Amino acid sequence: MRIGIVCYPTFGGSGVLATELGKALAQEGHAVHFITYQQPVRLTEFLPNLFYHEVQVPTYPLFDFPPYETALASTMVDVIRNHELDLLHVHYAIPHASAAYMAKQILQTEGKNIPVITTLHGTDITLVGRDKTYEPVVTFSINQSDAITAVSENLRQETLNHFRIEKPIHVIQNFVDTSRFRRKPIDAFRQVLAPKGEKILIHASNFRRIKRIPDVVRIFAGVRAAMPAKLLFIGDGPERSTAEELSRELGVFDCVRFVGKQDQIEDILSIADLFLLTSEYESFGLAALEAMAAGVPVISTNVGGLAEINLDGETGYACAVGDIESMSRHAIDLLKDPAQLERFRKAARIQAARFDIQHILPQYEALYRMVAPAAADQ
């Protein structure tokens, strides 16, 4: 099939998932066209049937806010016309679902029906989408989609609780490629970061408030008081300076490394002993799943879709939001017991395998066949 994928190109989970999906679809022989304003961060390899169309947003002195959504809808129309796309799969409702609706309407005047699938990822529903400023457009454009998916059962429920959705929401959970995300023998790298055999804890995110970054630092300070340990922060964002300040205040700054945004996160995860995810909410928690695939147990909160992936007492521990004491204690107990840590590692890997891309990709393909049966028959 010829598939258009619209996503945010940045380090957020929805963009990562959309890009990995597009790459996997292209490997299956579909022609995949990414439409967004910048090359997606994980779109690094060349495949003959993988295309990238950059949305240009011309500026004009009149515009305080250049109209990205209009430019995006126009680019969608252009790509659909010129490449005869069979369907459009948009990730993150705002503003992708409404731009897709606009593109669909324009093409309908030319007698072309382009099916639109909207995948809801999280904050488009739980935070931003619920804001009164956006809610009517979000509700309308989700309902106008030919199919709707949510990345976890929890997000499906959240959507139904807060929006008047008139269509079924299909749950297609996020996935990981376990052949890529796995434990790799890169001890030399570990040696550089933790030369004295210190335990390595990792947090990866976009450092937004919802991630409760100070909790990560406090948990680490608890661990550091009990044993030699290092904390690696992967990613960047608004709470980074808070993390730096707090780690100075708690006297652990020398043991904390900020490694910034990383493309090869699978290599870094390979040296980790524990992954920390302290969010106030996660619709899914893709970063935790990727860590588990690399055999890293997860200490997380037990909110949203996290409970669907991190099995408390088996693949890690899932605690109440803000319960720093329990999270530190679990981390210390696990790190002090190599046999138990090994059991958790294996369980994490087994659990991640349930979300392997091989199981999830066919679910998207089945949905594509449902919304565009004629194209699927070709």
**Which residues of this protein are in contact with ligand GMT, per CB under 6 A?**
12-15, 17, 92, 121-123, 151, 174, 206, 210, 281-286
Smallest separation (angstroms) from ligand GMT to the CB of 14: 3
Spatial separation of the C-alpha atoms in residues 330 and 302, rounded to whole Å: 14
Tokens found for residue 242: 């808070």
Smallest separation (angstroms) from ligand GMT to the CB of 48: 28
User: In the β-sheet with 274-277, what is the strand arrangement from edge to edge?
Assistant: 256-260, 229-235, 199-205, 274-277, 298-301, 316-319
Smallest separation (angstroms) from ligand GMT to the CB of 13: 3
Smallest separation (angstroms) from ligand GMT to the CB of 367: 16
**Choice between 277 and 334, CB closer to ligand GMT:** 277
**Choice between 77 and 299, CB closer to ligand GMT:** 299
**Choice between 198 and 236, CB closer to ligand GMT:** 236
CB-count exposure of residue 57 (10 Å: 0-12, 13-18, 19+): middle
Smallest separation (angstroms) from ligand GMT to the CB of 166: 23
Rounded to the nearest angstrom, the gap between the alpha carbon of residue 298 and the centroid of all alpha carbons in its chain is 16
Smallest separation (angstroms) from ligand GMT to the CB of 110: 32
Helix axes 68-83, 93-108, angle to 10 degrees: 50
Tokens found for residue 169: 């929401």
